[in-house]
Structures are given as structure tokens and as C-alpha cells.
Chain A
Amino acid sequence: MIARSIIKYTIAIAVAIFFLLPIYVIVITSLKPLDEVSLSQMWALPTAIDFSSYTEAFSELAPNFMNSLYLVIPATLLSAILGAMNGYVLSKWKFKGSEIIFTMILFGMFIPYQSILIPLIQFLNQINLYNSIAGLVFTHVVYGLPITTLMFRNFYANIPDSMIEAAQVDGASFLGIFRRVILPLSITGFVVVAIWQFTNIWNEFLFAVTITNSGSQPVMVALQNLSGSQIVQWNVQMAGALLAAMPTLLVYILLGKYFVRGLLAGSVKG
């Protein structure tokens, strides 16, 4: 019994260390003064704590960090609202063909975005949204529809149909039921969907790097540029990586339970 416990904890702790090592390296490297940043001392703790990597990384990334905020907030809200509308119809107002429509929408979740990228850029160019945050917001709202629709549809499927029927007997209309029955019950749904969309859009790279090319680049593109640059020290890269990851890490730490619910909701079903 004791032997089994020892094995159990040894494995769990060893794997935990493996998962945490990158964070250890990021944190200690980003806190080192420049003269202690050397390849052979990667694992050594800093002798003094120095925030200059953060000041440098921050001055490089701050404008792009703001771009990401301007992108992620409207894109998350809009795609959540549209998802709730679709989910409501596809779970509570099914009609002939609605299952096919739902499956067609779902497919959009799995396509490699490379397969729509060339027309998308031509289109954004036409409507003058290429290389703009607004263009990226639009893109993320459209391609976020499948996942938000799926999540809300599954969420609303758990609201008993009898509640809808009771409201209908009371004379409530389609909109009335949505406003007075469904939306008040949707808070958890909105939290889960918003966290999921926030994390995904913040972390997204392919659209970001192809649709924007200068002042409007989101933070992940700027981080990639920072790490690809030969003149930037890697303590600054590490500080930059931590800064860029901070919003989604904070969301995970504070609201991890909802994040995991979103993650599980992504696997179709329901």
C-alpha cells in the first residue's frame, strides 16, 4: 500500500515538475540582470532581481497588447451574442432542416483556416478592412460562430422544454421567452463562452499575422517578431512571453472551472 502511494506521488510530482519547468525558466530568466543571462546558466536562479527585461518587453509590446484588447473584447461579445441567438433557435425552435443547418455551421469549426484565407484577405481588402482591428474583429466573429453556437445550443438543451411551453401558454412570444426565460438562465453560458472566446482570440496567430501587418498587429504577432529578432536578448523574449500570456493565464487561474467547461463543450455531442 505504502509502496503504491510512493509510486503514485513520484509520478504525479515528476509530471508536475515537467509541466512547470517552462514557467520556471520564463520567470527566472525574465528577472535576471543582463550580465547573468547566459546559455550555460539557464537554470540558475538570479543573484539579484532585475525588472529591466520587463520594462523593455513592455515598451515593445504595449501597443500590440492594447490592439489585442481592442480586438478581443468586441469579438468575444459579438460572437457570444450571435451564438446565444443561434443556440436558442437550434435547441428550442427546431424546424425541418435545422439539424442540417446546425451540422453545416459546426463544420466551420474544424476547417483549416488556410482554406479560406486567400478569399478572406481579398474580401477585407475590398471593404477596406484589411490591416485593421475591425477586420480581425469581423473575422473572429464569423469564424467563432460555430463554437459559440455549439456551446449555447448544448447549454440551452439542458433547459427543460416545459419551461418554454409554460411561457407560451402564458402568451409569451419567441422574443419574450428569449428575454425573460432564456437570457436570465444564460449567465453561466455566457461566462463559459466568453472565457473560451477570449482565450482563443487572444492566443490566435494565423489570422493575426496574415490580416494585419503594421500598427494594428495583436500581441502574439509582436511576440513572435520579438523572438524572431536577432538583436533581442532572450531574457526580454521570456519577459515578453509572460506579459503576452498573462491575461489568459489570469483568466485560467481565476475562472479555471469555466475554462474547462468550455474545453469540454468543444467536443461536439449534445
Chain B
Amino acid sequence: MRITKDQLMALLFLTPSFILICIFVYGFIGWTGWVSLSNWNSLVPDMSFAGLKNYLYLFADYRFQADLRNTVFFTILFIGFVIIMGLSLAILLDQKVLGKSIFRNIFLFPMALSFVVTGVVWQWLLNPSTGFNEFLKIFGWEPKWYTDTNILFGFQWGSIEFGLPVAMIAVVIAAVWQMTGFSLAMYIAGLTGIPEELREAARIDGASELQIYRKVILPMLTPITVSVVIIMAHISLKIFDLIYAMTGSGANYVTDVPGVYMFETTFRGNYYANGAAIAIIMLLLVAVFIVPYLINSRRGASS
């Protein structure tokens, strides 16, 4: 088969980007993987083979165990609240509400902000000696927010206390404030896509508004929920800037996450091989969610 001039041009259009992606995504991931198996833990590169030494070090490390615990609870709470808030607000705005677009714009605007800005502001709002506590102390309640070192429902596991770090809740509040707009926008788009005839038909069959939502609309929104969960999961698993700007690692690493650890150990401590190992673990965690999702949605799209 001969390639036409047009097909050749098409390849020429695509090739530079494809080469860049091959080198800078796949090649560099490979190189990071190689660094993670090396002895490069000082300023001077030392690429001698270390086997799984860096990984074994991390999994036995107090800080990294704390990071994994924090990531688990942050991810669950963050995704849960983003979904619940986004879906409830979308349903609310799906009703007859005056000033609908004003409300929608208010709920969506934090999406336009940087995590750094969010972190700087919420660091003050949830500061134990001011912010929301100025109101809460009227009721005699002064939470310590992100400075709290307690672990809820904790039990000893490895070298850490496993359970929900209270300090993480403060970070979740800030993250949910910022990202609810995303799920809201997705659900609004989903609700708009549901034809009015469908609701009309259900009404004629005698279904109440609540039943229409539960039996007809929510099931139709499932694909959107899947997308939101996947996208929020990958944001949450690689989160760095919000926590770095808002709380840092926290006392006893109660708000530390792999992203912060990787940054500090690599670029402040020069433990490149350890940092690379953290990065590879983060990549694998994200890949668990993303790869099946990508394969699925690509397959769905091409058929």
C-alpha cells in the first residue's frame, strides 16, 4: 500500500508530539524507575544498582507509612464529600431557583483559583487561634484543626497508629471547597442531558419527584459519578501544592502526603533514589485507577 501525500502530512503533524510524549512521559518514567533502583541518595549521582533497597526502606519508614495512611483517608473523605456536595447542589439547581446562574457561578469560582491561594487562605480560616474558631468558641468548641495530632479510631499498625488523622479533616475542607465545582459542573451537564420527556413519562406513571430522582435520574448519572471519582482520585493521590501551602507535613506527619515527602526528600534532602521510589509508588497508585478507566472509555468511544 502506498502512502499518499496527505497521509504523510498527517504523520508529520502528529510525530513531533508523539515523540515528545514518548521521551518525556514514558522515557522519563522509565528513567525515574531506574533511579529508584539506584544508590543515588546524595548530591552526586550514583547510579549503581541497589535493587529494591529504597522501596524496602520506604515501606518500613514511619513517615511513609503515615503518608499512605493520610492519603487513604484524604482520598476517601475528599471524593465522598465532592460527590455528595456536587450532586446535591446540582439537584438543587435543577429545581426552580431564582438566581440559578449566580449560585452556580459562586459554587464554581474556586475552580479558577490555584491550590496555593486556597492553601494560603484556608491556613488562616482554620487557624486554631482565629478564623472559624472565633464563631465556634461562642459554643465553647475550639477545634485544633490542622494542628490536631489525634488519630481517630486508631490502632497500632506497622510503626504508625492507623486511623483517621483529625488534622486531615481541615485539609479535606479546603480541598472540597475548591473542587466541589468540578463535580457540580459535571452533574449539571449530566442533568441537562436527560430529556424532559423521560421525567414527564415517569410523572404520568405516577412517580413522585423523589422517586424520579432515585429511580430514573440517579442511575443515568452513574457514568458521570465514575468519571468524577476517577478524576478526583488522581488529583488526591498526587496532591502536593495545597498541603505544602496550607499545613506542610504537620507535627508527627499528621498532614504529610507522598507528594510532599517526595518533594522534600528529593529537592531539600538530595535523597534522589528515595524520592524516585516515592514517585514510582505514586504513579502505580494512580495507574490502578486510570489505566482501566482509559482503556474502558477508549473502547467505548471507538465502537
| A interface SS class | helix
Contact with A238, one of B110, B119, B121, B282 (Cβ below 8 angstroms) = B121
CB-nearest residue of chain B to A250: B112
B9-28 interface code vs A (CB 8 A; 1 in, 0 out): 11101101110111011111
B88-127 interface code vs A (CB 8 A; 1 in, 0 out): 0100110101000001011111111111111111111101
CB-nearest residue of chain A to B34: A119
B residues 245-276 touching A (CB-CB < 8 Å): 245, 258-259, 262-263, 266-267, 272, 275-276
Q: Are B114 and A245 in contact (CB under 8 A)?
A: yes
Q: Is B241 in contact with chain A by the CB < 8 A criterion?
A: yes
Q: Are A89 and B297 in contact (CB under 8 A)?
A: no
Q: Is B182 in contact with chain A by the CB < 8 A criterion?
A: yes
Q: Known A89-B14, A118-B32, A173-B5; judge A245-B117 contact (CB<8 A).
A: yes
Which residue of B17, B29, B134 has the most chain A CB atoms within 10 A of its CB atom?
B17
Query: Number of B residues contacting the other chain (C-beta, 8 Å)?
Result: 97
Spot the interface stretch: B56-64, B146-154, B164-172, B231-239: B231-239
Tell me the bound Cα distance from A245 to B115 in angstroms. Answer: 10
Q: How far, in Å, is B277 (CB) from chain A's closest CB?
A: 11
Q: Is B131 in contact with chain A by the CB < 8 A criterion?
A: yes
Spot the interface stretch: A36-44, A45-53, A58-66: A36-44
CB-nearest residue of chain B to A157: B301
Tell me the bound Cα distance from A223 to B121 in angstroms. Answer: 11
Tell me the bound Cα distance from A87 to B49 in angstroms. Answer: 41
Tell me the bound Cα distance from A259 to B257 in angstroms. Answer: 30
A residues 113-136 touching B (CB-CB < 8 Å): 113-120, 123
Q: Is A88 in contact with chain B by the CB < 8 A criterion?
A: yes
A interface residues with partner B (beta carbon < 8 Å): 8-9, 11-12, 15-16, 18-22, 25-26, 29, 39-40, 42-43, 82, 85-86, 88-90, 93, 95, 98-99, 101-108, 110-120, 123, 142-143, 145-146, 149, 173-175, 199, 202-206, 209-210, 220, 223-224, 227, 234, 237-238, 240-241, 244-245, 248-249, 251-253, 256, 259-260, 263-264, 266-270
Q: Can you report 23 A-B residue pairs in the complex whose CB atoms are below 8 A from each other? A: A11-B92, A22-B177, A42-B130, A42-B134, A85-B13, A88-B13, A108-B21, A108-B24, A112-B259, A114-B240, A116-B29, A118-B31, A174-B6, A174-B9, A203-B115, A205-B245, A209-B263, A224-B245, A249-B112, A263-B111, A264-B185, A267-B227, A269-B301
